[in-house]
Structure 1
Amino acid sequence: MRTLLMGIALLLAAPAGAATQGVGSLDGVPIIDALDVGDVATGVQRFWFRAGPTPIGQPWLVPVVVIRGAQPGPRLMLTAGIHGDELNGIAVLHRLATTIDPATLAGTVTLVPGLNPPGLLQSTRQWAVDWSRSAPNLNREMPGKIGGSAIADFAGRLWNRLIRPNADTAVDLHTQSRGTAYMMYAFASTPRTRRMAELVAPDIIKMDKGDKGTVENTATDDGVPAITLELGRPEQFDDVMIARAESGLRNLMRDLKMLPGAVTPPPASLFVANDIIAARASRAGWARLLLPLGALVKKGQPIAEVRDAFGTLLETVAAPVDGRINMITTDPRADQGGTIARILWWSADPACANGC
């Protein structure tokens, strides 16, 4: 009990600043209020990052692994779990944390496998201590504001004391959320980030101007090239998808001269798009897909059927453009106007070169 009370006192007394700030420990793992990877010893170091208080006055603790190489080099930031039902990226970072050899690494890799503890606890996309689609989205809150609302403060601590000060390049790992599935799919917004996405070797790259407040766009806008990497389905560990992402991130690290070895070129099958459109059900009912995730489609091609409670066909949903199916709904219950699939395609409009 005395040790616990001493740890809490250290947490409450922690000063603000930019350097790594140790404020206690939990089961032998240091708790920090801020990270500067320049302060970290060569090798693999693990930390709990204190990201603000819970509603019951205890801190939210975010796991961090820093792998500092034997040679100087870039600082790569890899994050996952900012949406609490999107889990494959966490396993990718766990694998990298145990397989990257600091002796062969130039630079520093910082791994954050679980940015959103409240969402992860409730298996919800949102930043919430209960399941609520109306709750705020942590991946729209960057760079946050320390001392602001609960979520702004949480995001501000993550951004200003953990992510941004330790990143020259960044990749934020996701999946689709519950009831849906993606292919391995990357968002990029500039020629540099498109090159990063190509090296990771997804099935599809979407050139995308993105949403305000995401890790990817906030970093890129602040001079840190970043991509979002989507890895399939929610609420599971998919070993094939995890292995592909690990391989792709290692290829990116080879291109950054962080790891030795030859860089693998992008696959010839890589599909690049700059616009997206939803294929929607105009009638409510039971939807059944006619084409698989990843299928190439032509405008007007049937992609799904919707039937009523008795099995009577209500409508056939057709592809609205030529393109490739990058997302499907896995829940067959379709609302009127609900999305059945999303199709990526390339717009020839010059204004859409880096995303419409």
Structure 2
Amino acid sequence: MFSVFPTARLRPSPFYESAVAEGMTAASIYNRMIMPTSYGDPAAEYWRLINGVSQWDVGVERQVQLKGPDAGKLAQILSPRDLSKCQVGQGKYVPLCNHRGTIINDPILLKLDEDLYWLSIADSDVWFWASAIAAERGLDVQISEPDVSPMALQGPMAEDVVAHVMGDWVRGLKYFWFKETEIEGIPVAVQRSGWSKQGGFEIYLKDGTQGTRLWNIFKEAGQPWGIGPGAPATAERTESGLVSVGGDTDDMTNPFEVRLGKYVDLDVADDVVGIQALRRIKAEGIKRHQLGLVLDGGIPEPLGFRREDIRLEGEIIGMMTNCVWSPRIHANIGYALVSVDAKVGQTVEVMRDKGPVSATLVELPFL
């Protein structure tokens, strides 16, 4: 049984009651909301994602809405990625940076109209950031948090389930593209996306009163494919090399250090926040990079509440930012944010609570 103490500072998503009914046993706090992280059987949740279809309450992925004549201009000012060719119905992964070039969030930008955008954010206050930048630049744009909450269907069979509910047109959606539509009168946007590499969709619910009903529509439709609950908290995200901004980054990390440089276009306009710092960082050369770690030992030992130092030949060269037992690799694996002098194939020491543990630096993704 999962218990929570209500407070005006902590919000449930429209799918919260469904998550509780599914047997939620653990949760985390994300964007001041309750994010389910387990339903009591981590092994089943992991293999369901790898082999079948998993249903996630990810309503914590809040939308920051930009609406008005300058919405597109603000979107570009916030983004070091060139958005000039972004079309209505298209989404793009965007690493938002501050003026120092430090990555502060990595939302999916959705262009709903020429004057309407959503930033589907990770865990930080982008609403405040966007509002401050818009005011400082004197832009004609309204910034709000709309009544929009994503639910995810992830796994190799997710497409079959979504097509069963929505129709075969969803099979033609390109990655990050979306379509606004209805499901039994419930307004949604359907996007091919999600925080896994197993394939899937996010269903953006646009009426928070319909969360339980929408959940049950997909739950019932997914029965022939063995659908069950899950969360973006399995080893799959680490195996697949997905970056968690705020978890795998610190207050100095730039996109180039964590394999996100391909989403930075250095020739965007000078008024884009952080672009001039990013140009300097690129010109001067990257000082750190992100590699994988395979740790010695055959007992699952996840990361605790802190990052752990990594030593090479007795010197600290960086830190391990996450660690999890991989059922497919049969080892503890994690990410290293380390000096560029550290190379794939080298043996390092991770300074764990129980003492130093040997590990090998490897390329990402693991699988």
After TM superposition, the score normalised by the length of structure 2 is 0.31
RCO higher in structure (CA 8 A, sep ≥6): 2
